[in-house]
Amino acid sequence: MKYKEIVTVISQEQIATGIYSMWIQTKDIAKDAVPGQFISIYCKEGSRILPRPISICEVDKEADTLRIVYRVVGKGTDEFSKFSVGETTQVVGPLGNGYTLENRTALLIAGGVGIPPMLETAKALNFMGVKVFTVCGYRNNELFLKEDLEKYSTVIIATDDGSVGTKGTVIDAIKESGVEADVIYSCGPTPMLRAVKQYAIENDIICQISLEEKMACGIGACLACVCKSKEVDDHSQVHTKRICADGPVFYAQEVEL
């Protein structure tokens, strides 16, 4: 179930260049959220009508709070980065379909702002007693959320510049570390997800991927955020799926990248 609420900012901090972490107080959104879902946040500036979708990074169901970690990429997210403690704004969520968590050794693979949703995923799997490995791809040595992820998983790092861990891609880091798992959960840019899907196929591993896409309505009505699918969509009657409503998480074999 999704809710439209006025939420309150309870903390805000910059954790890397252009990357911010914000905890918000909700009424019902946090208690219903599952790993892999997102929220849509409305700007307070009147000219920016459409909400901005941001993945859920962490949830505290007892306190009814949730955390988002986001990159400033435009006027909307820049406005969010200036929110102060006690400030309120309108949010819709939780939205989309999250990961289907399995009680088998898990490999979480993420890059850039695909890393935040891995935290709640790792936490939930760890609570289930699952052994978790997390492979994160960063641009450089600004390893945001690394220490948080280490509470729930074994973390392996790849960096573009080679400043930390493996120099190269997340797939390079997986091969270098020799890590093995039964299920893959992944989130990040499309080129990375394409490589993850291929790796999963080659190694016969179940793979769930979370797609990143610009969204308008966020609830599946406008068909602005679609991806190619192998099956005909019940809503559009063509070979597409709506990332906001049918996803953002899909089994890798369901979609074309």
Give tens-digit pLDDT for 172-190: 999 999 999 999 999 999 9
217, 211 contact by CB (below 8 A): no
Residue 184 to residue 165: CA distance in whole angstroms: 20
pLDDT at 214 over 70: no
Give the residue ranges of DSSP H helices in the chain. Answer: 29-32, 75-81, 116-127, 146-149, 170-177, 190-202
pLDDT at 29 over 80: yes
226 or 134, which is more confident? 134
pLDDT at 229 over 90: no
What is the CATH code of the structural domain delimited by 214-249? Answer: 2.10.240.10
Superfamily of domain 3-95: Translation factors (2.40.30.10)
pLDDT at 257 over 80: no
**CATH architecture for the domain at 107-212:** 3-Layer(aba) Sandwich (3.40)
Residue 68 to residue 24: CA distance in whole angstroms: 8
Nearest residue to 209 (alpha-carbon basis) of 141, 107, 140: 107
Res. 254 pLDDT band, cuts 50 70 90: confident
State the average pLDDT over residues 62-68: 97
Residue 244 to residue 38: CA distance in whole angstroms: 9
Q: Are strands 19-25 and 65-71 parallel, antiparallel or unpaired?
A: antiparallel
Q: What percent of the chain has pLDDT over 90?
A: 78
What residues contact residue 111 under an 8 Å CB cut-off, 6+ apart?
136, 137, 138, 170, 188, 189, 192
pLDDT at 3 over 60: yes
- pLDDT computed for residue 222 by the predictor: 55
247 or 65, which is more confident? 65
- pLDDT computed for residue 246 by the predictor: 73
pLDDT at 231 over 70: no
Res. 124 pLDDT band, cuts 50 70 90: very high
State the average pLDDT over residues 203-210: 96
Q: The tokens 């939420």 sit on which residue?
A: 7
What does pLDDT average to over the chain?
Answer: 90
Q: Which 3 state secondary structure label does DSSP give 216?
A: coil
- pLDDT computed for residue 220 by the predictor: 55
What residues contact residue 232 under an 8 Å CB cut-off, 6+ apart?
238, 239
57, 67 contact by CB (below 8 A): yes
- pLDDT computed for residue 248 by the predictor: 82
212, 188 contact by CB (below 8 A): yes
The secondary element (H helix, E strand) that includes residue 131 is none
By mean pLDDT, which of 58-62, 112-116, 216-220, 243-247 is the weakest?
216-220
Residue 20 to residue 69: CA distance in whole angstroms: 6
pTM for this prediction: 0.91
Residue 132 to residue 36: CA distance in whole angstroms: 16
User: Domain extents for the chain?
Assistant: 3-95, 107-212, 214-249
Q: What percent of the chain has pLDDT over 70?
A: 86
